[in-house]
Amino acid sequence: MSISFLSWNIDRKKNFEEEISRLVLDEEIEADILLLIEAENVDDSLIESYTKLKRIFVNDGRETNLTPRFYSNLSIDEFQLVEIHDTKRITFARLNIDGQEEIIVGGVHLPSKLECNSETQFKDARRISLDLKTMKDRKDIGHNRFLLLGDFNMNPFEPGMIEPDAFNAVLSADEALNNQRTDWYKKYDYFYNPMWSFMGDRNYITGERKLPGSYYFRKTRDVTLTYWNVFDKVILRPSLINLLDYKSLRIIEKNNIETLINDDYSLKDEAYSDHLPITFKMNL
The domain that holds 127 is classified in CATH as 3.60.10.10
**Residue 195, number of CB atoms within 10 A of its CB:** 25
**What is the SS3 assignment for 4?**
strand
Q: Find residue 104's DSSP bridge partners.
A: 94, 146
- Pairwise CA distance, residues 74 & 58, whole Å: 16
Domains: count for the chain? 1
DSSP 277: -
Q: pLDDT truncated to tens, each residue of the chain (284 aa)? A: 999 999 999 999 999 999 999 999 999 999 999 999 999 999 999 999 999 999 998 777 788 999 999 999 999 999 999 999 999 999 999 999 988 899 999 999 999 988 888 899 999 999 999 999 999 999 999 999 999 999 999 999 999 999 999 999 999 999 999 999 999 999 999 999 999 999 999 888 898 888 899 998 877 666 677 889 999 999 999 999 999 999 999 999 988 888 998 887 788 888 899 999 999 999 99
Closest residue by Cα to residue 37 from 61, 15, 8, 62: 8
pTM for this model (two decimals): 0.96
Q: Residue 220: what pLDDT?
A: 66
Counting Cα atoms < 13 Å in the Cβ hemisphere of 176 gives 21
3-state secondary structure of 187: strand
Sheet of 69-72, strand order: 54-56, 69-72, 33-37, 2-9, 278-283, 244-251
Domain hosting residue 272, numbered range: 2-283
CA distance 145 to 284: 13
